[in-house]
A and B are shown apart, each in its own frame.
Chain A
Amino acid sequence: MGRFGFVAKRLLQVIPMLFGIVLVVFMVLQVTPGDPARQIAGLRASEEDLEEVRESLGLNDSVLEQYGRYVGNVVQGDLGFSYKSRKPVASIIGDRIGVTIWLMGAGLLLVVLISVPLGVISALRKDRPIDHIIRGLGLVGMSMPAFWTGVILLLLVANTTGWFPSGGFGETFGEKAHHIFLPALTLAIASSPFIIRGLRAEMISVLESDYISTGRSIGVAGSRLVRRFVLRNAAGPGITLIAIEAGFLLFGAVVIETTFALPGLGQGLVIAARGRDLPSVQGK
């Protein structure tokens, strides 16, 4: 029950954040140069045509009115129509969101598979050679931009071995997993170092606590001590850490989808932004 309340509270806290993000995206798009009407009507359109387009899209209203109307629609589940393709934004997002969820899900899975063992080993072997190696690798991973890691993996793994496709997405589960592996690995390489570092610190503070001494003193040792005394206590903060990181994974996904030509939200966002397709960008 306590845990459920905690999760509910966290989810509620997300709502004002979403409004903030929408507002920021809205403002940024308003002030960046480029006229959506011009983009839709084409370069040769007359001033009257442009005016008509603006009128129909409500672009002549004040920024505040546009924002108010937008938010009003969003809370009713209506994200508007793409200025460009005239398809409902919600359906464009629907088409693409599956890919992004795949990428984030697979990325998160790899983050957990990589970070938990390395974080645990690093903490248990604090200041020993293996700890230094893991921390060194972490620094390297942390300092490489995600698109760079992606390009390296494409060049070194996909192109040379031919084991993995260099772009696109599949139809069947197997195909999808195959296509998503390198992008997800790219995400994981960027995110894992932070999780490893956090888990290591958390585990070290657990290892220094009195109840670990109590456990040892009554003869609990080895993997039993790690499981029943260390991991149980580090798990809560560890999950929080990973949940926070999941938010950052979304930003990483935007970049990586483009690198790997994945037809996800991130790629859609880039295409829409280039075309000044305001509702599409905001919807994402």
Chain B
Amino acid sequence: MSGNLLEVTDLRVTFDVHGRQVTPVDGVSLTLERGVALGIAGESGSGKSLSLKSIIGLLPPNATVGGELRFALDREAPIPYAPADVHGHGISIIFQEPMTALNPTMRVGDLIAEGPKLHKGMGKKEAEERAIELMRLVGIPTPERRARMWPHQLSGGLRQRVMIATALSVEPQLLLCDEPTTALDVSIQDQILGLLQELRTRLNMAIIFVSHDLAVLGEICDRLAIMYAGRIVETGPVDEVFADPQHPYTEALMTSVPSFGATTDKLIGIEGRPPDPRDFPPGCRFAPRCDYAQEDCTSADHHLADVAPGRTTACIHPELIEGLGQ
């Protein structure tokens, strides 16, 4: 099957904070084809985690979701779905901190066996064997022995592998990764990235990988979406976005990473702080921090316009962007 697996249209997440409406995710739209790895980059607080949680229906109970979510499940074309439709079926998620993401009162083998027991109709014995098989798949040595261990008995890297095995236990078509390597040692980070890479091709899963680390996204993703202040401001194939950013914020993010910014004399890092969801500026939300800002920027409506095949930007003056001088 080909075609779209997930379609997100004008997603909004609103909280009622002491009687005031706060909307940290404010009109996110994206489409994801089967088997594609999409990276979402953006500063802290831009709404990356909330977007992922909306997709898999894990928002806290005090959040209100707006917009439309469609997922293909076992069908040809995406249809609207409820969270319960994709839990244990179709979509899985792995989190940043594997220690807090694993049930501390469950042996890791039992946790991995939950999915097969509940959704594949497996008996206890069969599900346990499946769990060990999954642990072997994610590269856990001596899985028979480790299946009997508690999460706190494992190293950080092994815990994240257990988390991945748990997510894979329900055979998802889409794996959501919320900064899965940020909490790990650098050497372990590369191993986990390599593993996700390998699993993705082997199992033909689509992935949405959230990170604020562009270099990591460059390694693992096909496409990139840049998020700022609750909205997506630029999308495109990873290489093209890196080679020729079409939004000043993308360019600014790249200059803040040494490996990208090395060839420029621009200031490393972005001046100012990301805006607070309680007080987003009008028009283009990046305008107050933007080197290229024009007068009409503060009144521009948010709209992702096509700039090239497969490439979109929300910037109304992309022609002004100088690039990194490559």
Q: Are A and B co-members of a single complex?
A: yes
Interfacial residues, chain A to chain B (CB-CB below 8 A): 126, 208-211, 213-221, 224, 228-229, 232-233
**Closest chain B residue to A234 by CB distance?**
B105
Query: Could you tell me if A217 and B114 are in contact, using CB atoms closer than 8 angstroms?
Result: no
Closest Cβ of chain B to A127, distance in Å, is 8
Which residues of B have CB within 8 Å of A221? 84, 87
Chain A residues near B169 (CB, 8 Å)?
218
Q: Is the Cβ of B114 less than 8 Å from the Cβ of A215?
A: yes
Q: Across the interface, do A214 and B170 meet the contact criterion of CB distance under 8 Å? A: no
Distance between Cα atoms of A218 and B175 in the complex (Å): 12
- The answer, among B95, B111, B118, for a CB contact under 8 Å with A213, is B95
Q: Are B88's CB and A213's CB within 8 A?
A: no
In the assembled complex, which residues on chain B have CB atoms less than 8 Å from the CB atom of A213? Answer: 53, 58, 93, 95, 101
- Report the separation of the CA atoms of residues A171 and B286 in the bound assembly, to the nearest whole angstrom: 81
A-chain residues with CB within 8 Å of residue B95 when the two chains form the complex: 210, 213-214
Task: Tell yes or no: B224 within 8 A of A by CB.
Answer: no
CB atoms of B97 and A210 under 8 A apart: yes
Query: In the bound complex, do residue B87 and residue A214 qualify as a contact, i.e. CB atoms below 8 Å apart?
Result: no
Answer whether residue B119 sits at the interface, using C-beta atoms and an 8 A cutoff: yes
Chain B nearest CB from A64 CB (Å) reads 50
Instruction: Using A217-B58, A233-B103 as known contacts, list a sample of 8 further A-B pairs with CB atoms less than 8 Å apart, ordered by residue number in A.
Output: A211-B102, A213-B95, A217-B167, A218-B88, A218-B118, A221-B87, A224-B118, A229-B103
* Residues of chain B within 8 A of A217, CB atoms compared: 56, 58, 87-88, 91-93, 167
Which residue of chain A is the closest to B104 with respect to CB atoms? A233
Is B60 touching A219 in the complex (CB atoms < 8 A)? no
Q: How far is the CA of A222 from the CA of B166 in the complex (A)?
A: 19
* Pairs across A and B, CB under 8 Å, 17 listed: A210-B95, A211-B101, A213-B95, A214-B93, A214-B102, A214-B166, A216-B58, A217-B88, A218-B87, A218-B170, A219-B114, A219-B170, A220-B114, A221-B87, A224-B118, A229-B103, A232-B105
Which of A208, A215, A218, A221 counts the most B-chain CB atoms under 10 A from its CB?
A218
> How far apart are the CA atoms of A103 and B102 in the complex, in Å?
41
Q: Quote the shortest CB–CB distance from B67 to chain A (angstroms).
A: 21
Q: Which residue of B lies closest to A126 (CB)?
A: B61
Contact residues of B between 146 and 172, Cβ < 8 Å to A? 163, 166-167, 169-170
Partner of B88, one of A210, A219, A232: A219
Q: How far is the CB of A235 from chain B (nearest CB, A)?
A: 8
Shortest distance in angstroms between A209's beta carbon and chain B's nearest beta carbon?
A: 6
From known contacts A211-B100, A211-B104, A232-B106, infer whether A218 and B58 are also in contact, taking CB-CB under 8 Å: no
* Binary flags per residue of B1-37, CB closer than 8 Å to A gives 1, else 0: 0000000000000000000000000000000000000
For A228, list chain B residues within 8 Å (CB). 103, 106, 114
Cross-chain contact A219 with B101 (CB below 8 angstroms): no
- How distant is B225 from chain A, measured CB to nearest CB, in Å? 22
B119 to A: closest C-beta gap in Å: 6
Question: B92 to A218, Cβ gap below 8 A?
Answer: yes
B110 (CB) vs chain A CBs: closest residue:
A228
Report Cα–Cα, A228/B105, bound state, in Å: 8
0/1 string, B73-87, CB within 8 A of A gives 1? 000000000001001
Interface string of B30-57 (1 = CB under 8 A from A): 0000000000000000000000010010
Name the contact of A219 in the complex, choosing from B105, B118, B163 (C-beta under 8 A). B118
B85 CB → nearest A CB, Å: 10
Contacting residues, chain B, for A215 (C-beta < 8 A): 103, 114
CA distance A208 to B115 in the complex (A): 21
| Nearest 7 pairs of A and B residues by beta carbon | A219-B88, A232-B105, A210-B101, A210-B100, A211-B103, A218-B115, A219-B87
Asked if A208 contacts B114 (CB within 8 A), the reply is no
Q: Does B101 contact A208, Cβ atoms closer than 8 Å?
A: no
Which B164-186 residues sit within 8 Å CB-CB of chain A?
Answer: 166-167, 169-170
How far in angstroms is the closest Cβ of chain A from B319? Answer: 43
Q: A229–B84 Cα gap in the complex (Å)?
A: 17
User: What's the nearest-Cβ distance from chain A to residue B63, in Å?
Assistant: 12
Q: How far is the CB of A237 from chain B (nearest CB, A)?
A: 12
Residues of chain A within 8 A (CB-CB) of B163 are: 214
Contact with A along B111-154 (1 / 0, CB 8 A): 10011001100000000000000000000000000000000000
A213 to B59, CA, bound (A): 9
Q: Note all chain A residues with C-beta closer than 8 A to B103.
A: 211, 214-215, 228-229, 232-233
Most chain-A CB neighbours within 10 Å: which of B56, B93, B97, B170?
A: B93
